[in-house]
Homo-oligomer: A and B are copies of this chain.
Amino acid sequence: MTSSPALNQPPPRVGSLLSRVSRAIRVRSETLLGPIGLRPRHLIALSVLRESGGTTQQALATTLEMDGTNVVGLLNELEGRGLIERRRAAQDRRRHVVELTEIGRLTLEKAESELAAVEDEVLTNLGKDQREQLYVLLQQAVGCAPNYAETLNEC
């Protein structure tokens, strides 16, 4: 009896709002990441790889909701900069196992810390607790437990 929009109705649609907030962050991130030579999508891929710790390209495509052909190009760019590593899977030599390199991990962390300013700006209406809350909700939505450090590979 505390929430405002409706009392006992289906949950409201969040798609449009998600797009707007997501886009706001992405647009600003692009200009900020330019000098480093990275783009938002690179960070997304790197962050998925950090949390999954080694996936096949096809699984990555599914997770990123990207077409497999575009994952190839994305990984080429990341591999060219030494941020990720591709190696054939021993069990099935058709597959590439993709992993974050140490440089990739450090680069990701650095980029993330530089993006703090962007998110501070876009999410200025949210307090720290609310941003934490948002993070937990999104993390849960994509299927990871909030403290993903314990879940390791299954993300």
Question: Is A131's beta carbon under 8 Å from chain B?
Answer: yes
Q: Is the CB of A141 within 8 A of B123?
A: yes
Category for how many chain A residues contact B: 35 or more
Q: Which of A17, A112, A116, A130 has the most chain B CB within a 10 Å cutoff? A: A17
Which residue from B5, B29, B128, B131 sits with its C-beta under 8 Å from A147? Answer: B5
Question: Is A92's beta carbon under 8 Å from chain B?
Answer: no
Which residue from B19, B22, B134 sits with its C-beta under 8 Å from A134? Answer: B134
**Can you tell how many copies of this chain the complex includes?**
2
Which residue from B10, B116, B119 sits with its C-beta under 8 Å from A116? Answer: B10
Least CB distance, A43 to chain B, in whole angstroms: 6
- Give A112 to B12 CA distance when docked, in angstroms: 9
Question: Is A106's beta carbon under 8 Å from chain B?
Answer: no
Q: Is the CB of A142 within 8 A of B21?
A: yes
Known contacts: A27-B65, A137-B134. The answer to whether A15 contacts B118 by CB under 8 A is yes
